[in-house]
Structure 1
């Protein structure tokens, strides 16, 4: 990652897994499961290779220890069975994994040997957790495709570059020289949980203009502002306030021209409006750079009761929480209101770590149980003025845990 300005090093909250359905299953590693009836090895391998965009890579999974082997069993969606092809092969002398490492651990169902006669054999994980050999890679009993992807960077910008703007805030950006229509360009940005450039100050506007000109993009670039013609109001694609604009005088009055672009030929990077579908331009995607400046202490927090406006964190957040069980009470003082909370972020090992959210001061009514990787915030509204969080981590390694925010309560 290229750093544009000097930054103080702080713990970063970045996404662990690539998108497209990958989640943290075990040991902070990223996997995805798809069910297919009687899937051959060649199709499984191809599915994994095509599973991840950009610079990330995916392949059939590796299992390095007996604990990994057992945790895979726990992580699989059991309604589809347990069988899947492994990224294991024989090079004529030794067993190796798809990532190139030697297989020092195996769990074969038989006395399989790696010889020159076995170089084309394939291997799959069976319903009994044992590994089976296949001479042709077409065993009808294999009915899942499990892919493993590289863990993404712990940088707050992942694969994007970073720029510091007004007030020492930080923005992640990525420049695409290939042209596209405005709507398709924003859709491409959302694959990285970003949007077309959102600009809140002159510093970032000038930086985007200079970056575009340095890349030879002199015919303009798409940015993420839109005009609602009936109301005359502008909005950013990420929903943030329009607190800075740099429009050129004499904006287009065409009903079809409602999507923003930056005129990179103008020295001040002024903005205009263009057709959202038919005008192809290069574009820049941006997203906030997330930092947590004060890591939370290890172990369950001393504070166990929370009120509206409070934030609730797992132990050591955003560091790995480790093993442990913690309970939290979210209480609204007014009995005529219902608790509302936002699960802002959750990253746990799906095999072994869960956050269960109970309704009420006592009882067993479960609102939801979440595990794995949830980078998108989501809200939960209880039926009462109390909610209990139960964090149960049997692993808690190489993941960041959770952040829950207690929002303003709602009337019953």
Structure 2
């Protein structure tokens, strides 16, 4: 994986990292200004040899690949950057000073909505997280009053079972959006004009692991998860899918996250001994696969380790 950096004329690894290790014995070219058109290989005894790529003889060499592992998923269902769980909800604060409309877009990009708050614990947590993230001049929370009155409701449709208004707020006509004062110790709320620019608290329900492997029966439109998704992808499982005679089975892979070295999702036409419809690994999202001739499909999740990946949905 050594390549020549044409700017510095120094050897570096092909992933951009510096050459910070040299073996006990190696070709002296490793210490010289580099040039393109050459390659490196390891000989018996660990010697690093340098040669031209334009060789006339054909050679067969082994190749060793490396993969940067992703950090392990947490066990609380909140795996985003700076995302924490309170009351079964994952909260995340962004300090960008934006309008209400842009705040909604930020949360959507994180798979969340602007946060509804249902307990003192959650309110205190969101305020502390806002300070950690530098959002000291207030943040949007997810309630609005479309009629610009003093009646607010959560945009995610959840029950209004907790509130922490400043005394005298909300004030009718002052603004249709709700903000938390992160500068105050108690994180009190006030209504604001929706064009005001401040940070935003986002929230989503924490994911729960799907622990069981079962062959079915599965119904049309039902979502199927690999065992342990999204925290553990190491358990194999076969799924047997059936539609009425004369029809074909069509499956959408909403998400596949598998190690290309080891883990596979295999779909077969029929339940046993059928043609392969798909043999998938790596990352796949939103793709459809249909049986060729049968009203049966066997879907087989075949991990060999399932290390630091989520599995499939």
TM-score scaled to structure 2, two decimals? 0.57
Q: Deviations over 1:164-204 (max 9, x none)?
A: 33xxx25242352x422223334344554444334343431
Q: Secondary structure at the match of 1:313?
A: coil
Q: 1:330 to 1:267 in 2, by over 3 A?
A: same
Q: Secondary structure at the match of 1:179?
A: strand
Q: Confirm whether residue 347 of structure 1 aligns to residue 257 of structure 2.
A: yes
2:232 to 319, 325, 336: 319
The equivalences for 1:10-409 within 5 A come to 96=13, 98-100=16-18, 102=21, 113-118=29-34, 121=36, 151-152=70-71, 154-155=73-74, 156-165=78-87, 169-176=88-95, 178-212=96-130, 219-226=137-144, 234=153, 236=155, 240-244=156-160, 246=163, 249-250=169-170, 252-253=172-173, 258-264=176-182, 265=184, 267=186, 269-275=188-194, 278-290=195-207, 292=209, 303-308=214-219, 311-314=224-227, 318-321=231-234, 327-331=238-242, 345-350=255-260, 353-357=263-267, 366=277, 371-373=281-283, 387-393=297-303, 396-404=305-313
| Conserved 8 A contact 1:92-1:114 | no
Q: Secondary structure at the match of 2:17?
A: coil
Q: Deviations over 1:4-37 (max 9, x none)?
A: xxxxxxxxxxxxxxxxxxxxxxxxxxxxxxxxxx
**Radius of gyration: which is bigger?**
2
Q: 1:396 to 1:183 in 2, by over 3 A?
A: farther
How many angstroms apart in 1 are the aligned matches of 2:152 and 2:279? Answer: 40
How many angstroms apart in 2 are the aligned matches of 1:149 and 1:204? Answer: 35
Offset, 1:290? 3.7
Q: 1:153 to 1:172 in 2, by over 3 A?
A: farther
Offset, 1:157? 3.0
| Conserved 8 A contact 1:197-1:284 | yes
How many angstroms apart in 2 are the aligned matches of 1:350 and 1:272? Answer: 51
How many angstroms apart in 2 are the aligned matches of 1:198 and 1:327? Answer: 39
| Conserved 8 A contact 1:223-1:284 | yes
Q: 1:115 to 1:365 in 2, by over 3 A?
A: closer
Q: Secondary structure at the match of 2:193?
A: strand
Q: 1:315 to 1:154 in 2, by over 3 A?
A: closer
Offset, 1:313? 2.0
Q: 1:272 to 1:95 in 2, by over 3 A?
A: closer
| Conserved 8 A contact 1:170-1:289 | yes
Offset, 1:117? 2.7
Q: Secondary structure at the match of 2:196?
A: coil
Aligned residues: CA RMSD: 5.3
How many angstroms apart in 2 are the aligned matches of 1:124 and 1:251? Answer: 71
Q: 1:331 to 1:214 in 2, by over 3 A?
A: same
Offset, 1:124? 8.7
| Conserved 8 A contact 1:295-1:317 | no
How many angstroms apart in 1 are the aligned matches of 2:111 and 2:171? Answer: 30
How many angstroms apart in 2 are the aligned matches of 1:357 and 1:194? Answer: 32
Give the structure, 1 or 2, with the largest relative contact order (CA under 8 Å, sep 6 or more).
1
Offset, 1:281? 0.9
What is the count of residue pairs matched by the alignment? 270
